[in-house]
Structure 1
Amino acid sequence: MNTATVWIGILVFACGSYALRVSGVLLRARVMLSGFAEKTLDRAVVVLLLAVVVTSTIFTGHDVAGPARVLGVVAGGICAWFRAPLVVVVIAAAGTTALLRLSGVS
């Protein structure tokens, strides 16, 4: 894969992302969704984000991640549950993971 291919991929992805965002703004006034559909879409977003978090937490490439990463994400999740600021959530997650790795838990 050469540099030109990567840049073309980035541009296509950026244009597609922008088109999705613009279409959402333009179509919001024209397309009316039922309450059930809006609730379902809101839940779908949460499920998608949760799936990304879980797979990123548990796996590193093709291998299973160590317990330090999982416990770090759990610590960040607890801070987020109690509505801590984002900076605190990130520092708690990274700090927990770093301290566990320093203590020999990988």
Structure 2
Amino acid sequence: MNATAAMILALAAGTYAFRLVGPVLHGRVTVPPRLQEMLSAGAVVLLVALLATGALTEAGGFAGWARPAGVLAGGVLAWRRAPFVVVVLGAAATTALVRAAGVS
């Protein structure tokens, strides 16, 4: 067995074990409410950071104004509870219009 196959098997076993821990320990481990709040806040912070880097950067530099404008438009539509298709099309249309206007 080569190193690649061994690594794939090790990662597969680790993933399976990680997923199995949740159901096995569900009723046995209690997490304090403060820690639950911090974990929820941490998840939100990580998602916002991912959104910011994806929306604002490209190849290590600023992506231009069209992409953040599209993300902002999509965010507003999602906040207003528009259907997912409308959010995606609105964000894409906003980005296309900003780029067509010559603002990159």
Where on the TM-score scale, by shorter chain, does this alignment land: which range? Answer: 0.7 to 0.9
Q: Counterpart of 2:33?
A: 35
Unmatched runs of 5 consecutive residues or more in structure 1: none
Distance of aligned partners of 1:10 and 1:37 in 2 relative to their CA distance in 1, 3 Å threshold: same
Question: What per-residue deviation string (whole Å, max 9, x for no partner) do you get for residues 41-86 of structure 1?
Answer: 1111111101100011110021111100011000011111112222
Distance in 1 between residues matched to 2:103 and 2:5, nearest whole Å: 39
Deviation at 1:8, TM superposition (A): 7.9
In structure 2, the gaps of 5 or more residues are none
Instruction: State the 1:96 CA deviation.
Output: 0.6
Match of 1:95 among 93, 96, 102: 93
Q: TM-score, with normalisation over the residues of structure 2?
A: 0.79
- Of stretches 82-91 and 59-68 in structure 1, the one that deviates more from structure 2 is 82-91
Whole-Å Cα distance in 2 between the matches of residues 7 and 68 of structure 1? Answer: 43
Larger radius of gyration: 2
Q: Which moved more, 1:85-94 or 1:6-15?
A: 6-15
After TM superposition, list the pairs within 5 Å mapping 1:1-106 onto structure 2.
16-106=14-104
Give, in angstroms, the shift of residue 102 of structure 1: 1.8
Task: Give the AA of the match of 2:60.
Answer: H
36 and 89 in structure 1: CA distance in 2 versus 1, 3 angstrom threshold? same
Please provide the CA RMSD for this pair: 2.7
User: What is the rounded CA distance, in whole Å, between the counterparts of 1:65 and 1:105 in structure 2?
Assistant: 11
TM-score, normalization by structure 1: 0.78
Structure 1 residues 79, 37: closer, same or farther in 2, change over 3 A?
A: same
